[in-house]
Amino acid sequence: MRILIIEDEIIQNENLVKIIKKNYPNLSVLSGYSCKDTRKIIKENEIDLFFVDVNLPDGSGVDLVKEIRKIHGYELKGVVFITSQMFQIVDAFKSTHCYDFLIKPYDVNDIKKIINTFYKSDGIQASKDNKAYTIIPIDNNLSFKVYHDDIIFVEYYCRQCVIHTTKGEIICKRLSLGKILNEIKSDTILQSHKSYIVNTKYINKIEKNYTRSWDITFSGIEKVAQASANYIENVFNAWEKKA
């Protein structure tokens, strides 16, 4: 099995190679820094999984993958896009049948989760991914796999749901807040307000701001959610259990 990493930042490239080789010694890992490098490598090697930076010095990573998809045998090969901008992922998923993505800065667990899910045999010691997730439809052509543990809170705003995760924001126009909550079914994720769902495992502080309203702040994110009198008791109870 061969993985090809295309990342123009030298340190990022080398670190990603080291992480994969350390955790998966049976894998062959190749790397390049540009679209030109990629074309040369895939002429000489059969690649099973690609990690491709969206922005490369001599072109777009998305356009590069579109080009690769036209090559016989690569129509359905695994592709993981690397980016620091969540919005770039939408076009990538729609146009290239992208398998997954890495949002910078990523860590070892992000990489292992992708590889463990992708490889199920051929000498790879892949641990089963038991983490709960929900497939969230973004539009007619695109859905995201959202792991429940990654959700910080969800807000309903301007007739759309914004899912705030540890990886970034996902905007969903096709599901209501209630439908998302029904899909998730988690002990730590619950409604706090008619316009908010919160994950109590990330709550840092709950502070009353008006007679029947509370501000909820979270670890790792500056944005604030709201709680109302109808839901605050359940939120407090779940938060205390988590503590």
Along the 243 residues of the chain, how does pLDDT read in single tens digits? Answer: 789 999 999 999 999 999 999 998 888 999 999 999 999 999 999 898 999 999 999 999 989 998 998 898 887 788 888 987 765 565 555 555 566 788 888 889 889 888 887 764 333 333 334 577 777 776 655 667 788 889 999 999 888 999 999 888 888 887 889 888 888 878 899 999 999 999 999 999 999 998 889 999 999 899 999 999 999 999 999 998 866
Residues with Cβ within 8 Å of 220's Cβ and at least 6 positions away in sequence, in order, are: 152, 166, 202
37 C-beta neighbours (distance < 10 Å), count: 17
CATH of domain 2-118: 3.40.50.2300
pTM of full prediction above 0.75? no
Q: Tell me, what amino acid is at 90?
A: V
Domain at 133-242, CATH homologous superfamily = LytTr DNA-binding domain (2.40.50.1020)
β-partners of residue 6 are: 32, 52
Residues with Cβ within 8 Å of 173's Cβ and at least 6 positions away in sequence, in order, are: 138, 139, 159, 160, 161
* pLDDT value at residue 115: 84
Rounded Cα distance, 128 and 214, in Å:
40
Q: What residue ranges do the domains of the chain occupy?
A: 2-118, 133-242
